[in-house]
Chains A and B, each alone.
Chain A
Amino acid sequence: NAGVMQNPRHLVRRRGQEARLRCSPMKGHSHVYWYRQLPEEGLKFMVYLQKENIIDESGMPKERFSAEFPKEGPSILRIQQVVRGDSAAYFCASSPPGGGRRSTEAFFGQGTRLTVV
C-alpha cells in the first residue's frame, strides 16, 4: 500500500506563473488536507477536502489559491500568479473515511518544495 504521493517534489516557477501541486491519497482514503510550511516556520493548515467537496478552507488565502479533489484522480492545489512569498513546502495528508479509531489518523506525503524566482 503506497503512501501519500505528492508530485512534483520540487517545482520552480517564475513570478506570475501558475503552480499546480498534485496529491494522490493513500488507497481507500477519501479525506485530503493541504498544509503550507514557510521557511523556518511551522505547518499551517490550508484546506480540507473530501471527494468533490471542500469541507474547510479557512486557511486558504482569499486570492490566487484554489484546491480540488475530483471524483477521479489526485487532489490539486493551484496557485495562480505566484509571488516570491509563495515559496514554501506544501504538504498533503490523507485519512480514511469515517468510522473507527483509525479514521482520524492522517498520513502525510513528502511535500512539494515550491521556489518562486
Chain B
Amino acid sequence: DAKTTQPPSMDCAEGRAANLPCNHSTISGNEYVYWYRQIHSQGPQYIIHGLKNNETNEMASLIITEDRKSSTLILPHATLRDTAVYYCIVRVSNNQGGKLIFGQGTELSVKP
C-alpha cells in the first residue's frame, strides 16, 4: 500500500471550514483514498473514501486532484467536537476486504 504524508497538526476556528491535506504521490491506479478520525481514546471513525471523483457525505467532502497524488478532506463547518486525529490512508479496495495501515495523522484542534 502507498504511503501518505500529512501535517502533524492544524488549528481551525469553530464554524469555519477545516481543510486537511494529504499527499499520496505513489498511489496506484487501483488504490482508494480513505479518511478516518480518532477522537481522544475512542475507536477510529470512518469518514469518507474515494477513488478519483470528489465525494461528499453528511460528515465531509473529499477532493482528489486529477493526478490523484493528493487529496483534501473538508469539514465545512467545524465544531469543537471535530477535534481529533485525522488519518488519510490509501489502499487497494477489493472484494476481499483488507487491512488499513494508519500513519501518524493530523491532529486537528478546533478552537472557539
Contact = CB atoms under 8 A, between A and B. Distances in A.
A69 interface: no
Majority DSSP secondary structure for residues of A touching B: strand
Interface residues of A, number: 29
Contacts of A109: 43
B42 A110 contact: yes
Interface in A73-109: 89, 91, 93, 95, 97-99, 103-109
A113 B97 CA distance: 26
Given A103-B95, A106-B97, 15 more contacts: A42-B103, A42-B104, A43-B38, A44-B102, A45-B99, A45-B100, A45-B102, A55-B96, A91-B43, A93-B44, A95-B97, A98-B96, A108-B46, A110-B43, A111-B42
